[in-house]
Structure 1
């Protein structure tokens, strides 16, 4: 138990001393996951809402495929991205493997089914009612879409926070495509995994505390929005 208590004490010292390496890892983690979330929301969210508002052939198959993709292991996504970006592949000339860009791509692929599926389910359940109301009031297509986004802004924010939480806590994909390179691609989850295997518990605990605080705050916001 002594090494655990000592690890927590050292972790607090690192956090309070504004350790440069520690905070560079934290900032990179937030930056990569925030970028991946923004990219996903600008593409998958409108797609999910648009498909949820209309009826089309294969609706059942689409929903099954999307929700099945939510369960794809992150290491499989990481391996897929690594193969696509390797030097022998068609995209090898871009030299993106083991860079933050590769990590962003992996996280986008990871959370796209999540954002699409949740937006589709939300739009199908509540958006169609708003669509019918908009039609009754004589709104055109663009006005209906704007109305749906405005009326469901709280639920859409929940989707955004859920996607960010999923991205920032992921370890498998970013480990494969990022390589956990110090000062370049080392994020909180990959650093914690490495530090634990090395027995460096103080830095690992410090990063664990930050990761827990971030996810706890996000979950509190999501819970509050759901209650409203």
Structure 2
């Protein structure tokens, strides 16, 4: 147990002292995850609303595809993205391999099905009499849309939180697409795996503490918004 306690103490020193290697991984993680979450939320919430609100011929088939995509392994997504953006792939000329943009693309693919599926579930659980009530009160299409979104706001927040949790903890995409390059594409999760394998237990704990702090901050923010 002594080495675990020593690791925690050293981890605190690394964080307080502003260790460049540690905070470089934190910065890369925040940058990649912010871009991927912005893209997945902007795209996924409208698609989830359409999937949950309207009835159309292939709705069940699309829902099955989305639900299946939620369980895709991160290494498989990393493999597919790598194949497309590598020098031999159709998008190789864009220079996205081993960049944070490439990681963000893979993480967007990872988070998008989660946002769509959970948003659709939230919309499907909405009171079906709400539409009739709003129309009887003279609401136009724009008011009907925003009122429906406001009604399921907690479900949408939960969808975003679930997707963010999956993005922040993934390893396969960051490792395969980003290459785990020090000072450039090394994220928190890949750094934890690498440093722990090298025996640098304190660095792994320091990055793990940052990951937990970010998760706690996101949950606390959502709790505050719910109270408001």
The TM-score bracket by the shorter chain reads over 0.9
Correspondence for 1:139: 139
Cα distance, 1:26–1:59 mapped onto 2, change above 3 Å: same
Question: 2:98 touches 2:178 (CA, 8 Å); kept in 1?
Answer: yes
Q: Residues 31-46 of structure 1 correspond to what in structure 2 (within 5 A)?
A: 31-46=31-46
Three-state SS of the structure 2 residue aligned to 1:18 is coil
Cα distance, 1:54–1:30 mapped onto 2, change above 3 Å: same
Once the two structures are superposed, residues 100-159 of structure 1 have per-residue CA deviations (whole angstroms, 9 ceiling, x without a partner) of 000000000001000000111111221644333322222222221111122222332222
Distance 1:195 1:65 in 2: 37
Q: TM-score, normalised by structure 1?
A: 0.92
Distance 1:94 1:224 in 2: 41
Question: 2:70 touches 2:113 (CA, 8 Å); kept in 1?
Answer: yes
Three-state SS of the structure 2 residue aligned to 1:126 is coil
Q: Residues 98-117 of structure 1 correspond to what in structure 2 (within 5 A)?
A: 98-117=98-117
Q: How many residues align?
A: 228
Distance 2:51 2:7 in 1: 50
Correspondence for 1:5: 5
Once the two structures are superposed, residues 70-127 of structure 1 have per-residue CA deviations (whole angstroms, 9 ceiling, x without a partner) of 0010100000000000101111101100000000000000010000001111112216
Once the two structures are superposed, residues 29-55 of structure 1 have per-residue CA deviations (whole angstroms, 9 ceiling, x without a partner) of 122112111111111111111221111
Correspondence for 2:157: 157
Distance 1:128 1:81 in 2: 40
Q: Which runs of 5+ in 1 are unaligned?
A: none
Q: Which runs of 5+ in 2 are unaligned?
A: none
Q: TM-score, normalised by structure 2?
A: 0.92
Correspondence for 2:54: 54
